[in-house]
A and B are shown apart, each in its own frame.
Chain A
Amino acid sequence: MPGFLFEGGGYRHQEMLELVEDLGGAILQVRLVGSEVTITFSVPGEDVWAVEELARDLQGRLRRLPLLGSEIAVVSPTITRHHLPHPLCDVAEYLRREGAKTNMIGLARGPGQRICQISEEERRLIEEHDAAVFVLGNFEHCLREHKWRLFKDLSVPVVVTGGPELPSLPHAFAYISGMGRLPYRARTFTEIGKLEEVARAVERALEERRRKLEQDPPLLSPLVLKAEIERKLGEVLRGGAPFPVTPQLRGVRVKLPFSRFAERLAELEVAGHRLGEIAEIRRSVMRDYILVHLLPLSRVGAGPGLIRGAVQG
């Protein structure tokens, strides 16, 4: 389902919400500020014309969000001023504008050549995302000979950005040049074009993942699951993180403490099943959040639901 962003007046915006619901789409976020409204939603591809027509009628602006429903890790070798803020924030912000939820991650021991390394915990944290973007440096020798060690074992697709022109990098899904260590923000057309290249590479990577997932899809869409969780746990979620249920390609991240809410989440009834039966619920490496990964249809009903991590404490 393609994602969209509607920006327009608050007046009659209820019509847009109703249309999306009628079409079987999913509403991710509604922000009503003053008299302006911003709605993030997705609708089935064949019904996009109806949404476009209504947006025209309401004199609002409709923008496609190709990365909607994904969570991307934007990784830098460190969090020192050498790597932050310019290129990393630019990449993260651009991906956010394209609809993705991004998390910026600075590695503890990422810099250098011989000494660069990634820990097991960092690896697991990055693998919780749908894709990762590594923003690396300017030296060709470092990129070719050493830096690939940071992402070679990751099971998620990795888009790498760096300074020099290179055709490709080992173990990377794509390599984008001209976005290495920069002392300034991306402002010119050329620089913003590079960010666009990064976003398109991430889109391709997600598309490939989606195709793989579609071979054995889950019982329901993560966007539907998100709406269900928000409807049933709305009271608890209110007042917490700004995006309390973050959709991913395989499921959702619920920003609630695992120890207190995992059992309750597993007992939640979704689409006629206990959530624990159709999804794997486990503790996230990020804080104490809960990761809900929907099981593929071939595994649903294979046995009692898995609540991994509950025993580990």
Chain B
Amino acid sequence: MSEKVFAESLDPSYQHGYGVLMAKVIAEHALSELGLGGAVEEMRILVDIGKPLFAVRVRLGPSLPPVRVKDCARVQEAQDGVHVYLLDETHAPSLARILRERFGGKLEQLDRWEVVVPAGEARAGELEEMVVSRPSETLLDRLLDAVQRVIPVGFRVGYSERTGNSLLLVASENPIREEWVEEVKEALRRPPSPIPPERMEAIRRRVEKAEVEAKFKEGAMPFKW
């Protein structure tokens, strides 16, 4: 996977400091925990801890298409009506909600996965095209959650800007001045400055090779599974 998270300091005297590099590690963890790795194209973190100022700019990838009934269920016409057979249970709550909203008490639930829309209420083709959920809407919530995890908790004064497919959040504990936002935008126009690999390696956790105790080595036990 190509690098997506870039962290740098706006203060030249604190370039590649521990806190800045850890912000990158924390952001990478947040993106992976919230399953945003695929949706985010680039995340840039700018820090000036003396002011103090913390800015995060996220650029999203192409927006995800809405999930329709045909993407998560099989729809079949029968004599008693249209049978909707759920295939992907992750969409079960949303699917149940939209069917309930549209058909109310007329629905008949056969079992956990199958419901019947009575004949004459809707055609199979129409049902298949109904929108179950819009991932691009929930994406923004998850994205803001990720950004909030990166920004230190004490930085409660915020400035946000959304343009096209990118989102900029500037946070501080002091009132944010216009020139700070300009400084951040100016820095964002420049390409991210690379972090020396040896500095990043020093920060990342290393898993040491452990010596296996003799009693657990192969052949040491009196029996094998």
What is A's interface to B at a CB cutoff of 8 Å?
Answer: 77-78, 80-83, 111-116, 137-142, 163-165, 180-184, 188-191
State which of A138, A141, A180 has its C-beta within 8 Å of the C-beta of B50: A141
Per the 8 Å Cβ criterion, residues 12-63 of B in contact with A are 14, 17-19, 22-23, 25-26, 29-30, 49-50, 52
B208 touches A180 (CB 8 A): no
Within the assembled complex, what's the spacing in Å between the Cα atoms of A164 and B17? 8
Q: Contacts A112-B173, A114-B173, A181-B26: A139 and B17 contacting too (C-beta < 8 A)?
A: yes
State which of A77, A81, A181 has its C-beta within 8 Å of the C-beta of B22: A181
A180 touches B153 (CB 8 A): no
Q: Contacts A113-B173, A183-B26: A80 and B206 contacting too (C-beta < 8 A)?
A: no
Within the assembled complex, what's the spacing in Å between the Cα atoms of A181 and B24? 12
Chain A residues with CB under 8 Å of B26's CB are: 181, 183
State which of B19, B23, B52, B173 has its C-beta within 8 Å of the C-beta of A164: B19
Chain B residues with CB under 8 Å of A191's CB are: 205
28 A-B residue pairs with CB within 8 Å: A77-B153, A81-B149, A112-B155, A112-B173, A113-B154, A113-B173, A114-B173, A115-B173, A137-B19, A138-B18, A138-B19, A138-B23, A139-B17, A139-B18, A140-B19, A141-B14, A141-B19, A141-B49, A142-B49, A163-B18, A164-B18, A165-B18, A180-B22, A181-B22, A184-B29, A188-B205, A188-B207, A188-B208
Main secondary structure of the interface of B (DSSP, over half): loop
Within the assembled complex, what's the spacing in Å between the Cα atoms of A138 and B49? 11
Chain B nearest CB, measured from A120 CB (Å): 21
Using C-beta atoms within 8 Å of the partner chain, give the interface range for chain B.
20 to 34
Chain A residues with CB under 8 Å of B30's CB are: 183
Chain B residues with CB under 8 Å of A111's CB are: 152-154
Within the assembled complex, what's the spacing in Å between the Cα atoms of A112 and B154? 4
A163 touches B22 (CB 8 A): yes
Chain A residues with CB under 8 Å of B149's CB are: 81-82
With an 8 A cutoff between CB atoms, is B210 at the interface? yes
Within the assembled complex, what's the spacing in Å between the Cα atoms of A188 and B154? 30
A189 touches B208 (CB 8 A): yes
What is B's interface to A at a CB cutoff of 8 Å?
Answer: 14, 17-19, 22-23, 25-26, 29-30, 49-50, 52, 149, 152-155, 173-174, 205-208, 210
Q: Contacts A115-B173, A180-B22: A189 and B210 contacting too (C-beta < 8 A)?
A: yes
Chain B residues with CB under 8 Å of A78's CB are: 153
The 10 closest A-B pairs by CB, nearest first: A112-B154, A111-B154, A139-B19, A183-B29, A164-B18, A138-B19, A82-B153, A138-B22, A111-B153, A112-B173
Residue of A nearest to B27 (CB): A183
B208 touches A190 (CB 8 A): yes
Chain A residues with CB under 8 Å of B207's CB are: 188
Chain A residues with CB under 8 Å of B205's CB are: 184, 188, 190-191
Chain B nearest CB, measured from A184 CB (Å): 7
Chain B residues with CB under 8 Å of A137's CB are: 19, 152
Chain B residues with CB under 8 Å of A112's CB are: 152-155, 173
Chain A residues with CB under 8 Å of B18's CB are: 138-140, 163-165, 180
Within the assembled complex, what's the spacing in Å between the Cα atoms of A163 and B49? 15
Chain B residues with CB under 8 Å of A139's CB are: 17-19, 49
Chain A residues with CB under 8 Å of B152's CB are: 82, 111-112, 137
Chain B nearest CB, measured from A112 CB (Å): 3
